[in-house]
Structure 1
Amino acid sequence: MAKTVLIGQYVETNSVFHRLDPRTKIISMIMIMLSFLTLESFISYVVATLFVVSILLLSKISFHIFVRGLKPILFILIFTFIYNVVSTKGTVIWSWSFIEVTVEGLYNGIRIVWRIMLLILLASILTLTTKPLSLAHGLEKLLAPLSKLHVPVEQFSLMIVIAIRFIPTIVQELDRILLAQKARGYDITVLKLPKRILAYVPILIPLLFTITQRAEQLTYAIDARAYGNGKGRTTFRPLKFQQIDYKVGGILILITVSLLLLNMRGI
């Protein structure tokens, strides 16, 4: 299960996105995601999909990793689709009892699920192509102006990156607990869906206990390295914008503006 988690993992390849400054990737991804939230027409969705597929190809990361990473959210996607189908009023094409399926509901369900998948793939590109420490350093540099308002930027950046990095760690711990139960003759995967959901409830206590232990060990490790509040710390490789950052950033801004213009004109 841990291998199916996209967010929080890093895959080493020699791609354009791996060579980019983390600040370029963070700013670009935020801009593109905001433009994706305004998608309405079919053409704009097709353009956005082609753009995301192009980014996946340029990252030189196997498509199998992305497809495998979407499996954990399959239930959420199905639930979102069904909820929109039965809750949206409009032209009824099928009904049973109080349940009605409408044309508008199908359209909204497909549109929202499509958008969620694009956003998740974009977010995964950021973490799959950026090392956690580089991501923390880039986020810290972007939020540096807030330090004048006495905002603990260094601690906030470190907290965000640790939270992202802990996602696959939590899943690994869950896998370990499930394997321990399977070794004792109790396999949750063979249970039916309602019983399987209830079977996960007793696992929460040992999982929370293990996560707490991990967090405590991480705290001791940070203290042992005299991290403190993080202010005034230097880095071995200072961040510096390169020519490739300006080129790729300009292209991404151009695509973002194009998507916004398509939505504004209703194309």
Structure 2
Amino acid sequence: MSNTVLIGQYLETNSLFHRLDPRTKVLSIIVIMLSFLSLESFISYAVATIFVIGIMLLSRIPLHIFGRGLKPILFILMFAFLYQVMFTQGDVIWSWSFIEVTLEGIQNGIRLLWRIILLILLASILTLTTKPLTLAHGLEKLLAPLSRLKVPVEQFSLMIVIAIRFIPTILQELDRILLAQKARGYDISSLPLPKRIFAYIPILIPLLFMIIQRAEQLAFAIDARAYGKGKGRTAYNQLKFQQVDYQVGGIVMMMTMALLLLKIGGV
């Protein structure tokens, strides 16, 4: 299960995106995600999809890894789609009892799923091509102006990166618990779907216990290295924008303007 979640994992392929400054990647991803929230027409979705696929190809990460990473959220995606289909007012094309399926609901559901998948792929590209420490350094530099307002920028950046990095760690602990139960003759995967959902509830207690233990060990490790609050901490590798960073930033801005013009023009 831990290998199916993309967010929080890093994969070295020595691509263009791996060599980019982390600040460029973070800012570009944020700008693109905000522009994707305004997608409406089929053409705009198609342009956004081609752009994301192009980024995936340039990252040199095998496409099957992205497909494998979408499997854990299929249930959530289907739930979101069915919610839009059954609770959106419009032209009814099928009904049964109190359930009504509308054409507008199907369209909204497709748009919602399409947009969520694009956003997840973008977030996955960021973590797959950026090391956690490098990402923390980039966030710290981006949020540096807030330190004048006495905002703990260093702690905030470290907290975000640890939270992202803990996602596959938590799933690894869950895999260990499931394997231990399977060794005792209790296989949750063989249960029907409704019983399988309720079977996960007792697992939450040992899972939370292990997560707390990992958090305490991490806190002790940080204190042992005299990290403290991180104020005034220096880095061996200094971040510096290169020409390729400005080129990528220009491409992102052109993409954002193109999507904005498509929305304004009603295309």
Secondary structure, aligned partner of 1:185: coil
Q: Distance in 1 between matches of 2:43 and 2:80?
A: 22
Question: 1:87-124 CA distances to partner (integer Å, 9 max, x unpaired)?
Answer: 00111111100101111000000000000000000000
1:77 aligns with 2:98: no
Question: 1:151-192 CA distances to partner (integer Å, 9 max, x unpaired)?
Answer: 000000000000000000000000000000000000000000
**What's 1:143 paired with?**
143
1:227 aligns with 2:237: no
Query: Aligned ranges for residues 235-254 of structure 1 at < 5 Å?
Result: 235-254=235-254
Cα deviation for residue 261 of structure 1 reads 1.3
Q: Distance in 2 between matches of 1:20 and 1:253?
A: 16
TM-score relative to the length of structure 1: 0.99
Look up the equivalent residue of 1:52 and give its one-letter code.
Answer: V
Q: Distance in 2 between matches of 1:257 and 1:180?
A: 53
Secondary structure, aligned partner of 1:203: helix
TM-score relative to the length of structure 2: 0.99
Query: Aligned ranges for residues 15-164 of structure 1 at < 5 Å?
Result: 15-164=15-164
Secondary structure, aligned partner of 2:72: helix
Cα deviation for residue 264 of structure 1 reads 1.8
Secondary structure, aligned partner of 1:202: helix
Cα deviation for residue 145 of structure 1 reads 0.4
Cα deviation for residue 200 of structure 1 reads 0.3
Cα deviation for residue 55 of structure 1 reads 0.3
Q: Where in structure 2 are there 5+ consecutive unaligned residues?
A: none
Cα deviation for residue 252 of structure 1 reads 1.1
Query: Aligned ranges for residues 179-194 of structure 1 at < 5 Å?
Result: 179-194=179-194
Secondary structure, aligned partner of 2:90: coil
**What's 1:7 paired with?**
7
Q: Distance in 2 between matches of 1:242 and 1:142?
A: 16
Q: Distance in 2 between matches of 1:198 and 1:106?
A: 30
Question: 1:227-262 CA distances to partner (integer Å, 9 max, x unpaired)?
Answer: 011011111100000111011111111111111111
Look up the equivalent residue of 1:77 and give its one-letter code.
Answer: L
Q: After the TM superposition, which segments of 4 or more aligned residues of structure 1 sit over 2 Å from their partners?
A: none
Q: Distance in 1 between matches of 2:109 and 2:74?
A: 14
Q: Distance in 1 between matches of 2:88 and 2:193?
A: 27
Cα deviation for residue 130 of structure 1 reads 0.3
Question: 1:186-230 CA distances to partner (integer Å, 9 max, x unpaired)?
Answer: 000000011101100100000000000000000000000000110
Question: 1:73-94 CA distances to partner (integer Å, 9 max, x unpaired)?
Answer: 0000000000000000111111
Look up the equivalent residue of 2:88 and give its one-letter code.
Answer: T
Cα deviation for residue 137 of structure 1 reads 0.3
Secondary structure, aligned partner of 1:226: coil
Cα deviation for residue 265 of structure 1 reads 1.5
Look up the equivalent residue of 2:36 and give its one-letter code.
Answer: F
Q: Where in structure 1 are there 5+ consecutive unaligned residues?
A: none
Q: Distance in 2 between matches of 1:211 and 1:140?
A: 25
**What's 1:258 paired with?**
258
Q: Distance in 1 between matches of 2:118 and 2:150?
A: 36
Q: Distance in 2 between matches of 1:261 and 1:22?
A: 28
Q: Distance in 2 between matches of 1:84 and 1:96?
A: 16
Q: Distance in 2 between matches of 1:32 and 1:54?
A: 14
**What's 1:205 paired with?**
205
Q: Distance in 2 between matches of 1:36 and 1:131?
A: 25
Secondary structure, aligned partner of 1:231: coil
Q: Distance in 1 between matches of 2:131 and 2:264?
A: 36
Look up the equivalent residue of 1:119 and give its one-letter code.
Answer: L
CA RMSD, 1 decimal = 0.5
Q: Distance in 1 between matches of 2:208 and 2:107?
A: 40
